[in-house]
Structure 1
């Protein structure tokens, strides 16, 4: 479980997460579980892909979804 251990060292740091849709969220990492789900606070949409509905976002939960190839 190398990746969750690495992400836990980043708790309290400013991070940028890029979603599958291309939207980038910038915020403070508050928690990370063994499935790489992330909880962030002080979130803002970063970059030119900023969506209007993300402007009022203060905290979010990013769920890691792994798809298996058939």
Structure 2
């Protein structure tokens, strides 16, 4: 639940999603659900020569199980909120 809450704070921020098939998609995070399925708008791919079929795509819905990494600007991360949530989750898990 911690990661779901964390990603919800990144709504409307630009993120890069690297998929397990090596496709990297950068776009504006519009929504994320409890399964970490992600919706991005205004996307572009990092390697258009390798993925020319993605050039016409502007919005994507990415299933959480195919995500390898999520990259974001460090200035967009509220570290205090993340640390507090981690402490709460660790305390409640004991």
- TM bracket (short chain): 0.7 to 0.9
Report the structure, 1 or 2, having the larger helix content: 2
Q: Which residue of 2 aligns with 1:40?
A: 40
Give the SS at the match of 2:7: helix
CA-atom RMSD in angstroms: 1.7
**Residue by residue, what CA displacement relative to the aligned partner does 1:7-57 show, whole Å, maximum 9, x if unpaired?**
001100000000010110000000000110001100110147741001111
State the number of aligned residues. Answer: 66
Distance 1:18 1:49 in 2: 16
Q: Provide the TM-score with structure 2 as the length reference.
A: 0.65
SS of the counterpart of 1:11? coil
Residues 14 and 28 in structure 1, CA contact (< 8 A), matched pair in contact too: yes
**TM-score between the two structures when normalised by the length of structure 1:** 0.86
Gaps of 5+ in 2: 67-94
Residue in structure 2 matched with residue 10 of structure 1 by the alignment: 10
